[in-house]
Amino acid sequence: MKPRLDGRRALAVNADKPHLWKADIAQSVDFYNEWFMRFAPKAYRDTRVQTTKEVETALKATANLTNIAPAVLRQNPSALSMLRMATAPPIARDRLIGLAKVSGNLVRNMELHQRIPPRMDDVLLDAQLTMMGRVILRLADKDIFPWLENTGSPTDAELHRAATIVADRLCGAVADPIIRNAQERRQLATLKEWLTQRGYSFIKAGQGLKFDAIPPGSFAFRVNVPVKLAGGTRKANIPMDVAVMPRHVKAGELPLMLEAKSAGDFTNTNKRRKEEATKMAQLRSNFGKKVRYVLFLCGYFDSGYLGYEAAEGIDWVWEHRIGDLAQLGL
């Protein structure tokens, strides 16, 4: 796809230079792969250690899986994720909903928000929690929890082994998010280091900072940009990873908005590329062409993805060539 160039795009860092894309793609893939081989196993192991502790806590709350009564689930709704992974085979969230014939809202609240739906009828709640408990006990993996068959008390070694296996299953189900979150933290740390080395001041979150009130020479993470949606009747916040206000700005100038993106394969990037185009369209409809929204890329972003973004007026900086940020007036 050929980039659509306007006055601002003529000053683009990478969007108007397709002759460089092939080499940059190769370097970006190598950069990501090197990081993955060096750091991803540690990120996974660290998460598994923490998850093992959480599983051990859940086992204690359920009397080592011998008590999954409604009262226990009421007090420990977050244990449900662990319980799904304690079965043979492990069951997905939707599978549990179908097998137990319970409310999807109940299960999602327990797992995603660690709570019982506040307005759910108590009688219905107990009935559905009972059904979930029965399904889980019927499918419980006796190879992992042998004490469920021999009715004896588990040893400390058996409990730790069971918790580790269940934690592995939990981490395996969310392996991609674990790696993605670790990579995102690293990208933001890299941006913070680059900016602070050039004299920019970091503003911590939680100070009621508005995106258009960032002082010159400062930057912040996790900034919400309020916009009016199509039709102008509804409002929404567009989350932005980084907002930087250059040291030398004109009155009314908006901060440079950066979004850190990484990918471990080419497939998912092409599925997600419309998300950035939608953000850019919303930003421009609210703030005009003065908006500067730039991607900070690391990993598998092919020419199809790059061409699509360039055609939408979106520029980018590669992490392996982070010095290009200086071309944006920083």
Exposed/middle/buried for residue 6 (C-beta within 10 Å: 0-12, 13-18, 19+): exposed
Amino acid 33 reads N
How far is 128 from 108, CA to CA, in rounded Å? 13
Distance, first Cα to last Cα, the chain: 29
Per-residue confidence (pLDDT) for residue 11, from 0 to 100? 64
* Letter string b/e over residues 243-260, b meaning 16 or more CB atoms within 10 A of that residue's CB: bbbbeebeeeebbbbbbb
Whether residue 216 is preceded by a cis peptide bond, meaning omega within 30 degrees of 0, is: no
How far is 88 from 141, CA to CA, in rounded Å? 5
**Regions in the chain scoring below 70 on pLDDT:** 1-11, 206-208, 231-232
Per-residue confidence (pLDDT) for residue 3, from 0 to 100? 43
Per-residue confidence (pLDDT) for residue 245, from 0 to 100? 92
How far is 174 from 51, CA to CA, in rounded Å? 12
Per-residue confidence (pLDDT) for residue 214, from 0 to 100? 86
Per-residue confidence (pLDDT) for residue 231, from 0 to 100? 66
Amino acid 153 reads S
Per-residue confidence (pLDDT) for residue 80, from 0 to 100? 93
Which token pair is 7? 């006055």
Q: Enter the pTM of the model.
A: 0.70
Per-residue confidence (pLDDT) for residue 168, from 0 to 100? 87
Exposed/middle/buried for residue 210 (C-beta within 10 Å: 0-12, 13-18, 19+): exposed
Per-residue confidence (pLDDT) for residue 8, from 0 to 100? 38
How far is 188 from 296, CA to CA, in rounded Å? 10
- What is the SS3 assignment for 257? strand
Which token pair is 52? 């093992």
Q: What is the pLDDT of residues 258-287, one digit of tens each?
A: 999 988 888 777 777 788 888 888 888 888
Domains of the chain: 9-41+176-328 (3.40.1350.10), 44-174 (no CATH)
- Residues 6 or more apart in contact with residue 143 via CB below 8 angstroms: 88
Question: Phi first, then psi: what are they for 97, rounded to 5°?
Answer: -60, -45
Per-residue confidence (pLDDT) for residue 278, from 0 to 100? 84
